[in-house]
Amino acid sequence: MDEPCGVYPSSEIGGFGEIAAFAMHLTKSGYKESTIRPLVRALKAIARRTNLLNPEEVKAYLAQAEMTENRKALISMYLSRFYQYKGIPFERPRYRRVETLPFIPLESEIDALIAGVGKKTAAFLQLLKETGCRPGEAWDLRWIDLDPHRNTVTIRPEKGSRARQFQLSNRLIAMLNRLPHTWEYIFRNPKIDRLTSLEHFSRNFSKQRRKIAERLQNPRILRISFKTLRHWKATMEYHRTKDILHVMNVLGHKNIKNTLVYAHLVDIKDDEYICKTAKGVDDAKALIESGFEYVTDIGDVKLFRKRK
């Protein structure tokens, strides 16, 4: 956990020690670090600005804070858990989450981003694009999870989801094999705290993304995050198959209600394709490995297409 910090002495605001004790309670109760850390970070942010142990002061601060309704609703949930643990009466504010459609970029924008980042980040993004796995699941991948003979990867689940196995493209296998085999993990150094290293990796990705967006003069690229690729994969798989159960299996969900949140039905026009031609087996093989699908023959030329 983060070390206690803040602009107020702990005696004035109830203390970061209260938050640390709560974090320890959650750990002993079986909550994962990925759940505990954002909760602790939010409580500390509030404790720096008001008296955390005074619910009325906290609600007054939250009402005036410049943040979205969704963020306020999430923080209210965190506060409810904290005050329940402390035995402090708390009437939870009625902030309601607003459902919004996720940003779904063009595949060409994703590919441009992958082409512009470093090789480790590129391999990570390509993996998210092809599998739709969670960033944390990708971060936990080990070399033994990769089968280079069958071009498959086995995803170890997190957040109570299901384990999955995916067929990977030759391109992605090559990208992964170019990474150093220093540790048992493909992407992370096990000597560094898991979430700390993932957060650092994410910040570095944000810097690379900003440079690429500026170079290409495309601000939409700034909206592509690790989670965006999970939304993109779910949406594309549903559009391709019209099978929500298939999308559920791809994402590893145990409850189809969770799948419906991800697989938003966006209006994808049927003419949004890139077309390529192949005159021989090698050309066709290269196009298929790049994600193109066969359409038809015209004379001695084969036509392939890939959604933009």
Q: What is the pLDDT of residues 65-117, one digit of tens each?
A: 998 888 999 999 999 999 999 999 999 998 887 777 778 899 999 999 999 99
What is the distance between the alpha carbons of residues 202 and 67, in angstroms, rounded to a whole number?
22
> Do 87 and 48 contact (CB within 8 A), yes or no?
no
Which position has the token pair 């959650």? 26
Strand order in 146-147's β-sheet? 146-147, 152-155, 164-167
What is the distance between the alpha carbons of residues 285 and 275, in angstroms, rounded to a whole number?
15
User: What is the 8-class DSSP label of residue 185?
Assistant: B
What is the distance between the alpha carbons of residues 208 and 48, in angstroms, rounded to a whole number?
31
Tens digits of pLDDT across the chain (308 residues): 343 333 333 334 446 889 999 999 999 998 888 788 899 999 999 999 999 999 999 999 999 999 888 899 999 999 999 999 999 999 999 888 777 777 889 999 999 999 999 999 999 999 999 999 999 999 999 999 999 889 999 998 876 778 999 999 999 999 999 999 999 999 999 999 888 899 999 999 999 999 999 999 999 999 999 999 999 999 888 888 888 889 999 999 888 887 877 655 555 555 566 778 888 888 888 888 777 778 877 777 888 777 66
Beta bridge partners of 146: 153
In angstroms, what CA-CA distances link 263 with 79, 205, 240, 248, 287?
A: 30, 25, 12, 9, 27
The answer to whether the Cα torsion of 94, 95, 97, 100 is positive or negative is positive
Identify the pLDDT of residue 278: 85
Residue 189's φ and ψ, nearest 5 degrees, are: -90, 115
Q: Which long-range contacts (CB under 8 A, 24 or more apart) does 238-246 make?
A: 238/263, 238/265, 239/266, 239/268
Enter the tokens of residue 73: 């609703």
Q: What is the CATH number of domain 107-225?
A: 1.10.443.10
Domain boundaries, the chain: 10-86, 107-225, 273-307
What is the distance between the alpha carbons of residues 115 and 277, in angstroms, rounded to a whole number?
22
Identify the pLDDT of residue 296: 78
> Would you say the pTM of this structure is higher than 0.85?
no
H helices of the chain, where? 10-13, 16-28, 33-47, 55-64, 69-86, 107-116, 119-131, 135-139, 170-177, 194-216, 226-241, 244-251, 256-262, 281-289
